[in-house]
Chain A
Amino acid sequence: MRFKSDPILTTAIGVGLATGVYGISFGALSIAAGLNVWQTQLLSLLMFSGASQFAFIGVIAAGGGVAVGAAITAAWLLGVRNGFYAVTMAPILKRTGLSKLLPAQLTIDESTAVALAQQTTQDQRKGFWATGIAIYVLWNLATFLGAVLGDSLGDPAAWGLDAAAAAAFLGLLWPRLKDSKTILTALGAVVIATALSPILPTGASILVAGGFAIVVAWRHK
């Protein structure tokens, strides 16, 4: 069994397991947000981007069916990072035509990070594919597990699942807070989104906070 000692595959599976575990919380929180098991699974199969998926269910949790438009917009805006990863991966993978579709779907934080940590182009490709595939499979299995689990829990608030959702966003945010500019932007966004929630349609306050970040970024460069 040669592959057991292969460092790239070991990393890929390790990252896949770690990511998969939080797929369980995504699955459970999606059910708490009001989606059913199959809608939840569809998000992991088709959207396959953690922060965007959490954002989609977060806005639905806050606003229900009338907030679907805002949920789509929030998920879309949170996916912008993947565009930068794709630009970085494109010259490494060198795919043409329709064969770009598959790597595009697997282009997320983790697959890009593992790829870029390798030294040669061959290893970078291997890191990308191994991590992307491992996460895709494990994330979807974990989503299903979490969704079935969430489905059996009953009242989400009694289990603290609303607090878990807030903590999940904090957990996604935390590693991105690196200096005073990022911390102040985050604090401003919390205040804006919270304060505007009572007066704007659900989800819109989140998008206003996003607009605030664009203004800050534009002025400070």
Chain B
Amino acid sequence: MSVLIGILLASAAVFSWKIIGYLIPERYLDHGRVKNIATLLTIALLAALVGVQGFTTSSQVVFDARIPALIFAAVLLKLRAPFIVTVAAAAALAAIIRFFF
């Protein structure tokens, strides 16, 4: 499947949630277990992407300059640094480490 088709299908898929919410009555989603699933599902997918982006290269587990960069990012987030500052700082640290080692 081409990336362009993928973009169109994925956009439609994401939009489906948004429009479903306007079409169904609130009581169907106002349910503790459903909300709990949505919350933890979001967390798990984002965390999984941290893992895959941070610790794998071409499907192999690789530990490299991304690890200190991620630790630095975590420290900055703990200090309530803005998103863009955190992302740029992580990139800079990884780039510096790769340049010198």
Contacts and interface: CB of A to CB of B under 8 A. Distances in A.
A joins B in a complex: yes
Interface of A: 18, 21-22, 24-25, 34-35, 39, 42-43, 46-49, 51-52, 54-56, 58-63, 65, 68-69, 71-72, 74-91, 95, 100-101, 103-105, 107, 157-174, 176-177, 181-182, 185-195, 197-198, 202, 205-206, 209-210, 212-214, 216-218, 220-221
Nearest to A99: B22
B10 A217 contact: no
Contact of B87 (A83, A168, A198): A168
Given A62-B52, A167-B90, A185-B43, 14 more contacts: A25-B84, A43-B7, A62-B56, A69-B1, A72-B10, A158-B98, A160-B69, A160-B91, A194-B52, A194-B56, A195-B61, A197-B51, A202-B59, A206-B48
A162 B90 CA distance: 9
B18 A104 contact: yes
Contacts of A81: 17, 38, 42
A190 B84 contact: no
Chain B CB count within 10 A is highest, among A95, A166, A186, A187, for A166
B87 A171 contact: yes
Interface residues of B, number: 78
Contacts of B99: 158
B1 to A, nearest CB: 5
Chain B CB count within 10 A is highest, among A72, A85, A91, A158, for A72
Contacts of A83: 17-18, 20-21, 29, 38
Given A160-B95, A162-B94, A221-B32, A91 B14 contact: no
B13 A166 contact: no
A190 B18 contact: no
A62 B91 CA distance: 17
Closest 5 interchain pairs by CB? A86-B21, A160-B94, A213-B44, A167-B90, A163-B94
Contacts of A158: 95, 98-99
Contacts of B2: 65, 68
Interface string B45-83: 111111111111101110001100110011001000011
Contact of B7 (A42, A85, A165): A42
